Structure 1
Amino acid sequence: MSGDTTMTTSASASAHVDPAIFSSLQSKIDEETAVRDELRAHVDNIQKQGRLTQSILSRIHNTSTDELNDSVLKPASDALSEQAATVKSLSESASKYPFYKWNSIWQRDIQAVISSIQVSEWLKSGNLATLEEIGQRLQVPVNLKNEDAFHITIEDYLLALTNTIEELARLAPNAVTLGDYNRPLQISKFIKDVHAGFQLLNLKNDALRRRSDGVKYSVKKVEDVVYDLSLRGLIPK
C-alpha cells in the first residue's frame, strides 16, 4: 500500500510540471544563441582585420624611423579604417541589446583596436590618443552613463594602454639595434608620464589594477636601455 501511495504522490507532483515551461526556456535559449551569433560575426571580422593591423604594426621593430611612415603608418591607417567600419557595425547591432550582458564577447578585441590606434598615434605625434579621440576614430560613443548601448569603456581604454606601453617598451631595445638612439629616450619619457598618470587613479577593477601595476616593469626595462646608451656615450645631445 505504501508503494502505491508513493507512486500516486510522484505522479501527482509530475502533473504540476507544465512542459510549456521548458518550451519557453528553449525559446529564450534560441533567442540568445541568435543574438550571440549575430554579434560573434562582427567580432570575427574585427579579429581577422586586427591580425592584419597588428602584423603591419609589428614592422616597427625592424623598420628604421625614416621609413616608418611609408612602410608602417600609412598601411596601418588603412587597416585601422577598415576595422573602424566593422566596429561601427558591431556598435549598431550590439546597441539593440543590454551592453553588460554581451560586452565580454568583444571586449578583448576592442582593446586590441584601441591599442593599435594608441601605438599609431604615438608613432606619428608622440602624443597619447585620448578616450574621446578613440571614440571619434571609431565613430562610436565612449563612457556612456545613462544609456544601455554599445560604447568604449574607461576600463577598455586603460587596459589597451597597458598593452601599448608593453609594445613601446619592446620597441626601445629594437630601436637601438636599428641605430636609433633617440627613440628610447622618447619612449622612456612617454611611459614615465603614463605611469605617473596611472598612479593618480583609484582603480576598483582588480584586473586593471594588476595590469597598471605592471607598467612599472616597462618603465624599468626602458630605463635600463637608456642607462646602457648613456654608459656607451650614445645619448644624443
Structure 2
Amino acid sequence: MSERILQIFNSFHDFLSNEEELREEIRFNVRDLEKSCRDILMILQNIHNENNLEENIIVSEYCAKARVIFEDVRKSYELLAKAVPKDQYYRFHDHWRFVTQKLCFLASLVIYLEIKVLVTKETVAAMLGVKNNREDGFHLDLEDFLMGLLQLSTELSRFAVNSVTNGDYNRPIEIARFVNELNVGFRLLNFKNDNLRKRFDSLKYSIKKIEEVVYDLSIRGLKPSSCPAAQETE
C-alpha cells in the first residue's frame, strides 16, 4: 500500500473513531434523559389511582415531585447541548427525538394538572432547559412539541374515564372542553408532515372516547349542571 493511500485511510479511521465517540457520548446523555422520563411518568401515573382524583392537593404533590426530576432533565440537556457540535443538531436529532417528545407530553401534562391550560412551546423549552428558537442553538423542535401535545390528548382521555370510575364527574367535562379546543388548534395547521398527520388521528379517537364518557354521564343523570370549567367560559 502506498504512503498516500495509507494517509487517506488513516484519516478516514480517525474520523470514524471520533464520530463513534461522539455518538456514544450523546447516547449516554440520552439514556439519562430516558431514565428521568420514566421516573416522571411513574409519578404522574398516580393521578389515575383510586381516591386521588377528588384531592387536588394530592395531584399538586405529584406535579411538584415531577418538577424536581425536571431539574435532572435540564442538566442532561445541558450536557447534550455541549456534546453536539454547532450547526449539527439535526444530524444527531434522531438520538433524542422520541424522549424529547415524551418529555414534552409530560411537561404539558404537569401544566394542565396545575392550572388547566395549554402549555406554550416557550414554557416547555424552559422546563427542558433548551432554547425555544432554532437560531439560538440547541432547541426544542416544533414537531417534537406538537407530538407531545398529541400524546397529552391520549393521556387525558384515559384520565377522563378513570375520573368517572372514581366518582369525579366534573373533570371529564373540563377535559372535554380542553381537548376540543386542542383539536380546533391542530385543525388550523396544514399537515405536510406524515408523522404528525398520522399521530393527529389519535386526537380524533381521544375526542370520541371523551365524548362517550360525557354522553354516558348525561344519560345517567350524572353530568353536573355547572362546573368550574363551564363557568370560566361563560
Give TM-score scaled by structure 1 length.
0.87
Which among 218, 221, 234 is matched to residue 233 of structure 1? Answer: 221
Q: In the alignment, is the contact (CA less than 8 A) between 1:88 and 1:138 conserved in 2?
A: no
Kindly, what percent of the aligned residue pairs are identical?
35
**After TM superposition, which residue ranges in structure 1, 4 or more long, deviate above 3 angstroms?**
14-17
The alignment status of 1:181 with 2:169, answered yes or no, reads yes
Measured in 2, the distance between the counterparts of 1:138 and 1:23 equals 40
What SS does structure 2 have at the residue aligned with 1:18? helix
Between Structure 1 and Structure 2, whose CA radius of gyration is higher?
1
In structure 1, the partner of 2:19 is 32
Measured in 1, the distance between the counterparts of 2:184 and 2:190 equals 13
Gaps of 5+ in 2: 226-234
Measured in 2, the distance between the counterparts of 1:65 and 1:108 equals 33
What SS does structure 2 have at the residue aligned with 1:65? coil
Superposed CA deviations along residues 20-61 of structure 1, whole A, max 9, x for unmatched, are 332222211101101101111111111111111000011111
**Shift in CA distance, 93/17, structure 1 to aligned 2, threshold 3 Å:** closer
Question: 1:1-237 to 2 correspondence within 5 Å?
Answer: 18-62=5-49, 63-66=52-55, 67-69=57-59, 71-96=61-86, 98-144=88-134, 146=135, 149-237=137-225
Measured in 1, the distance between the counterparts of 2:185 and 2:103 equals 22
**Shift in Å, 1:83:** 1.6
**Shift in CA distance, 207/70, structure 1 to aligned 2, threshold 3 Å:** closer
**Shift in CA distance, 138/58, structure 1 to aligned 2, threshold 3 Å:** same
Give the letter for the 1:60 counterpart. I
Measured in 1, the distance between the counterparts of 2:71 and 2:85 equals 21
Measured in 2, the distance between the counterparts of 1:28 and 1:17 equals 17
Measured in 1, the distance between the counterparts of 2:162 and 2:59 equals 17
Give the letter for the 2:25 counterpart. E
Measured in 1, the distance between the counterparts of 2:221 and 2:70 equals 39
RMSD of the TM alignment (CA)?
1.9
Superposed CA deviations along residues 129-181 of structure 1, whole A, max 9, x for unmatched, are 1001112222321231x46x321011010011111111111111101111111
Gaps of 5+ in 1: 1-13
Farther off after superposition, 133-142 or 35-44? 133-142
What SS does structure 2 have at the residue aligned with 1:135? helix
Give TM-score scaled by structure 2 length.
0.88
